[in-house]
Structure formats: C-alpha cells, structure tokens
Amino acid sequence: MVYDRYGNRTDQNQTTGNPPTNHIQITAPTNRITGDCYDANGNLLAESAPPCPSPTYTYDARITIVNYLTAEYTYDGNGLRVKKVSGSTTTVYVFSGSKVIAEYDNGAAVGSPSRKYIYSGSALLAKIDSSGTKYYHQDHLSNRLVTDSSGNTVAQLGHYPFGESWYNSTGDKLLFTSYERDSESGNDYALARYHVNRLGRFGSPDPLSGGVSDPQSLDRYVYTRDDPIDFVDPRGLYVAGPHQCDNSVVLNCVGGGGGDGTDSGWWEMGLLEFAFMNTGTIDDPSFDNLDALNLLQGPDLGPPSSLSNLPKPLGGPLPQPPPPCILNIRINNRAGVGAGTLGNAEDQIKSLFGAYVGVNFVSSGSSDYTLNVANASASDSDLGHQNGFLFFQFTPVVHPNNIAAQLPGIYSLAYNQIMGTVGPHELLHRMGIGDLPYNASSPTDLMSLDHNPQFWQVLGQNMLGLTPNEALKLQKKCLQKHPE
C-alpha cells in the first residue's frame, strides 16, 4: 500500500499471489480523485474525467445515492435504504434499529420474507431463506464461514484489507464487515454513504466534519483512517473498534462490545478521541465534544482539563459508582413512532442521564416523570416544549414531525438520537431547570441548546451533555422522589 501525506491510499501493489492492484492520484486542494467527476458537494458522480458524462451515481438533496446507472434506491425518514430495484429484482428491507431483519423480493407476502436475519448484539448469527437456515461465523471484522444446521461448511468468505473479494464462491453479499455489497456496483452500503472498496475510500465525504486538533479526521473520504485491519465504520460516520455497538456514533456506544462485553476497551479510545476533537477554529480552540467525557466519570466530577486526569491504562470500561437513585420515566407514544425509533430515543435519554441517575422506562403503574411523543399542530414549529400555567406544570412533549421536517439532510440518520436529546431537555424543564444563555466556554451544554449558534451541528453530531451544576440538580430531583 502507498499513501499520500494526507492519508489517501494512492496505490495497492502486488507483492505475492494475485491481489487486485489499483492506482489513483489525488487533487490536494479538494482531496478528490484526479480525473473523476464530482458534484459541488464532493460526491463521486462518475469514474471518468470531466466534462462529466451522464452520471453513474445520482444523489438526492440529502446527499444520498438514489441511482447507480439503472438501479434505484429508496430511503426512509431515518435515511435507511428500504428498497432497491436492480435489474428484474425489487427488494424491500425491514430494519430493527440499523440492522436488516427481513428482505422481501418482488412482492413476497408479508408473512413469507425472502430472507430473515437473526443477530446477537451487533453480530449476525443466522440467515433463514428458502434453502434453510445458514449460520454465520465471524472473525474480528467480517463473516468468514457459513455452515448449515448440521454444522457442514456451506461457504468460506475472504476479502483483502479494504474489502475487495478474495474468495467467495457463493457470491454472498455479506462479505465485508457489516455492509451489504451491491452486485450492480460492487460497492458496500454503509448506511450514511457508500464504501468503494476497490478505491479504499468512500464515494462521498463524511457528513461529520473533522477537527483541526485531529488532522486525520479532516480527510473525510478515508475509510477507518487507513487501518481496515483493526477498525470498522458500521454507519459510514465514525471509526469504531471491532464488534463495537453500532446504533449511532461512538459517543452512544456506552458499554462497548455490542452488549456482549467483548473488545470493551475500544469504546473508551473512540470516545476520548471524539471528545478531544477540536471542532472550533485555530483562534478559538474550544473542545465542543468535551462533555462526552462525562460518560467516563462519576456523577460528581466535571470534565477534566486533560487526559492526565484520567486513570491509565484504559483497558476496559472504567468502574462507575452506582447511581444515587433511579428515575422512573413513562413515554406516551401518541405519535405512533416505530418501536425501533422509540427504543433508540430511550437509549439516548439513558446516555444523557445515565452518568448521574439511573433511568427506568415504565409502561404501567406510577412514574416520576412523563414525556409525551406527539406530533405538533401546523402552527407549532418547536421540536419540543414544556409549558406551565400559574402553579401547574404540563407534561413535556417532543414533536417528531417537526424534527423530521426541520432536520438537515446531512443529519438524517440522527433522527432517533435527536428525539432522545430533545426529550431530556424538556424533562429537565419539568424538573425546574430552565434554559440558559449560550456560553462559549460551555458550548455543548444541553440547556443552552435553544441559544446555541451551532444548533443543528451540536444536536445532529450528538455533542450535548449536562454541566456539573445541571447534573447535581438532576440528582437532587431524583433523591426527592426516592429519598434514601
């Protein structure tokens, strides 16, 4: 492999055997492949020199591919690809979170999916189709072995470092990490964008901007920082450790290991890297993501000023003291949002409150606080609100229809997480914690969100958290509900 000084892979050469070879040149000012056609947003249109022919790739306003030549792709409100038309085959996808659990080809009956998928955490266990049940076995990156119900080997899968096929006699589309490989293009569907494995890079820039304190993050086309042996990018948004949970960006992967406790050290490294990413300017080096470090500390500690404050080494999840109490929260789903969307929003609420109090969601019986999820009227443009009249305080509410309508396209995949961020903001209002003016020294304060000049950036990139003072008030409210 040969790389330029910006981290772009320019050559893949043969040393032994017969691996694929590749050579590209990069135009330094744009970081794009010299001789290829791109649109104004930096999306690859065609692998041919300008002037551009009829584009190979066509994009919508959300900067998502909707066509590859004659193939057509359709996405839902969360930015997930739910339909693909390629040749004579039309496939409809059903998701749970970010995982496909069923596929229907050419109008298959609802009760008879063409393929069903079963997972353990983030790992694929089995695929069920008309030929029976096939079991998938992974290494630290990808599927490597497929067996039948009797334990017989059905297929062996292998790929080169950036995903080009090495051996795959059955043509299994689940070849490289968690991606689906499209047979029409040979590219990998990575949720937020597409990975062009033969080029060792994405075809579109990362929707998340990099930071000047972490120069490698400024290369928004690179795949896993040129380390595809040790890292994955399950959503096409951010580098993660193998088997790390992939329901959102690294910030949400509290606990690591996809829920099974493995490879747990990766999430601390990714979280620290994200937290200390300088998203300000050179003249204003504010650490916009520093509140993420609250997840690594006890509930009574403020963000440390440097890594020296943290224990070393980070070999696994840091021990956390038990929460002083547990809040029981009821969510009234009056908007009828899907169970997966609601579950992801609940996870986000837990991630924001969980460093300070426990959170238990209840569907019946008594609760400490209630949050309504209800669509707003045409005259109401708020993402959520909590109102009061005299001595009466009304139930806080989140408006998913307004979030969907106002959400910038580059943050479309963050819809569930944003709903789970607006909810805690309104719940804290119900607890008597008001809005605060924007303070440049605390740019990621959840309660100054309404006045934040980078409103959608901090919300869409999941940068928000509680200040120590807000966390203390949250704990006090919880202890008032549940005195020891």
Each residue's pLDDT tens digit, 311-353: 333 333 344 456 778 999 999 999 999 998 899 999 999 988 9
pLDDT at 43: 92
pLDDT at 242: 61
Question: Mean pLDDT of all residues in the chain?
Answer: 81
Q: How many domains does the chain have?
A: 3
pLDDT at 17 over 80: no
Number of H helices, E strands in the chain: 6, 30
Task: Give me the phi and psi of 418, to 5 degrees please.
Answer: -65, -40
pLDDT at 241: 61
Boundary (domain end) residue, out of 318, 344, 370: 318
> Which of 249, 239, 263 lies closest to 177, judged by CA?
239
pLDDT at 54: 76
pLDDT at 317: 39
| Helices 415-430 & 468-481 angle (0-180, nearest 10) | 70
pLDDT at 179: 94
Q: Is residue 157 part of a domain?
A: yes
> Which of 261, 314, 224, 282 lies closest to 9, judged by CA?
224
Q: Are 401 and 313 members of one domain?
A: no
Q: Are 170 and 242 members of one domain?
A: no
pLDDT at 389: 65
Q: What are the residues facing 330 on neighbouring strands?
A: 362, 370
pLDDT at 273 over 60: no
Boundary (domain end) residue, out of 269, 295, 318: 318
Which of 4-8, 128-132, 454-458 has the largest mean confidence? 128-132
Q: Are 337 and 363 members of one domain?
A: yes
Q: Are 74 and 157 members of one domain?
A: yes
At position 439, the amino acid (one-letter code) is N
E strand spans, 273-417? 326-333, 358-362, 369-373, 384-385, 388-389, 392-393, 397-398
Q: Is residue 11 part of a domain?
A: no
**pLDDT above 90: percentage of residues in the chain:** 48
Q: Is residue 20 part of a domain?
A: no
Task: Give me the phi and psi of 189, to 5 degrees please.
Answer: -80, 115
Q: Are 69 and 91 members of one domain?
A: yes
Least trusted range by pLDDT, from 28-37, 43-52, 103-112, 235-244: 235-244
Q: Position of tokens 């990490």?
A: 177
Domain of 277, in residue numbers: 207-318
**Token digits of residue 244:** 């790390």
CB–CB of 238/270 below 8 Å?
yes
Q: Are 294 and 384 members of one domain?
A: no
Q: Both ends of the chain: CA-CA distance in Å?
A: 61
Q: Is residue 365 part of a domain?
A: yes
Q: What is the mean pLDDT of residues 267-290?
A: 39
Q: Are 124 and 73 members of one domain?
A: yes
Q: Are 271 and 376 members of one domain?
A: no
Q: Is residue 19 part of a domain?
A: no
Residue bearing the bigger pLDDT, 316 or 18: 18
Boundary (domain end) residue, out of 204, 227, 261: 204
Q: Is residue 270 part of a domain?
A: yes
- Helix H or strand E encompassing 32: strand 32-33
Tell me the pLDDT band of 263, cut-offs 50, 70 and 90. very low
171-190 pLDDT tens trace: 999 999 999 999 999 999 99
CB–CB of 11/23 below 8 Å?
yes
**Token digits of residue 479:** 């202890």
| Planar angle of CA 263, 267, 272, nearest 5 degrees | 145
pLDDT at 240: 67
**Long-range pairs for 77-82: beta carbons < 8 A, 24 or more residues apart:** 77/404, 77/412, 77/415, 78/341, 78/412, 78/413, 78/415, 78/416, 79/191, 79/192, 79/412, 79/413, 79/415, 80/191, 80/413, 81/189, 81/191
398-453 pLDDT tens trace: 999 999 999 988 877 888 999 999 999 999 999 999 999 998 888 889 999 999 99
Residue bearing the bigger pLDDT, 48 or 200: 200
93-148 pLDDT tens trace: 999 988 999 999 999 999 999 999 999 878 899 999 999 999 999 998 999 999 99
